[in-house]
Structure 1
């Protein structure tokens, strides 16, 4: 059904040694404009301001998620019973799952008010994209890949393998981000996890003998979020970026001309269905216009752009530490009364939990296969996870404020 390359294409990778491509359609998708664009978008955005080696791109992660999907196919019992068509849909969805990310990723989403998953679906289905033209060689293929990203329940097994609490996306980014940041608590035994997985009646299960590796994986993810992804310095850097985006948006709504080359950005702000402009946006594009904004006549953009360029970050107060109430009140009044104060004072909350499962989010359930063939939900089987489900919820609230 799908043409194979006469000779496999390989990519060297620090995690897997080699990433192997056997299908021509995968090779063509990797070379597409939309996937190559991911080379110019950092995987970890502002985290590189703290962990200086975290310079890897969304492209390297997307290839990694694809390779993890290959490892699932080769190592998870029961995947041999999945049709070739669904296996290729799985490989493609793993490769393309992040193509909708904007420059500096999540900071861009907050201002655009459109998730990267929604943009991924748009890029897959748009007749304007190279990705869509490549997928169109097979009737219905683009729609099937998009349905996996949307969680339409058309291919429930593939959906859970691409996006759930135990999926190829998370297993690659935890391993890759830990490697690139040097954060040892993010290392996971993904091969042991894969060997413990089994497909039963179209559902992913984990053998009881592999539960320890799942417990370690969930704790690694939990620590990575609070020690790396939510690091206050990384969040301070992204807060400056969000302020720049917000100011540009506000000025554009007022009809004010901005002295920088931001045509594509403005086009997307006005209409996030402008696919051509969206594809034009990446970290390189944003870095270029922020450098121009360091000479901008608008005082807010000038100040924020210079802060971004020079790493002059927001100060922050963590409210969990019960800071002085008078200090907080004075701080809030100062920025409330300040012209443009809303761009320089932000209240930011982040939260996380080690294991999430409820009857309403069944895709997040991790099922344990017992020796007698029966199944139990992970938190019913593991006392550690049962305790984490009720006690690991953590919320951090910080006040970020900018001082000259």
Structure 2
């Protein structure tokens, strides 16, 4: 009787998981599709001025790969680059100046605003300083790009053409992250897959849609929209600043677009599992608004959606329950099928798709670890700084 009850529970959980996957497949904005890309566009009548703002903290190692690509942008209009050194201790600013001297290209200004005041993250304080410098040039657009992002020569041209033709205030591209080590291949494509599941790209660009998100590595922002939305002051304490920026712009009446990138690549390596673990855990609990209730719901949801299918297949094989095995296998098949397009985008083999439950279990543990770190006072830590949740910082006006 007890074993029968256990089998019945597994069957119901497997059925719930399959129902969840069918709903995600049909009703979650086609999150699994990878065809939301910048379309080929014609040139505008006049190319507007653009200022590129690059916040950088201890980035001397990656700048030789990324910064020359920014300086080498083939842009027909007026453009220049402002690299803001956010308290680096590795000579980031000097490396940037030497690269500009050696490679030439767009004009480069390197400046440093000093330590951020209470209530500001270091990156957003650097962005604020960069935008202030850019305003003296009166650009129509600002390109906010991270120091580890390399751009194809036509990247800026295509971003501006998309913004102009589509009437968007934000055009953002999810940079292709590095996938060279074994752990990167296992974890990185899933990171983008989970992001798209939370923020389906096809919903973001729709007029009237509530979904708002951006990818912080590459954000073209209309300067007027930034002023109207009070960017970055309105989001000064945001750890997940890209999503916060998109929400602020959309709330102020702006239109946004987000898609996968071709020709925008992150060059930052995450070769070991601890490197990837820290990348995720430093902000996962902030994504849940530091809420124990949302954390519990996330753990339960990840368990039902990602872990139940393989458990049901195994339990069905052990107990002889065909229903558990079939329902679990069906859910697992839908899961793997929706993951294959992202693996193809990252040029990875399809056979990694069935391993998604294992990867999801890692993300579950990373999320729990993020909450534990927060409650131990280590919160969102990045390059020597730890940020409190927004309620714990003073509200400066």
Larger relative contact order (CA 8 Å, sep ≥ 6): 2
Fold conserved between structures, TM > 0.5 = no
Q: What TM-score, normalized by structure 1, do the two folds share? A: 0.27
Q: Which has the higher helix share?
A: 1
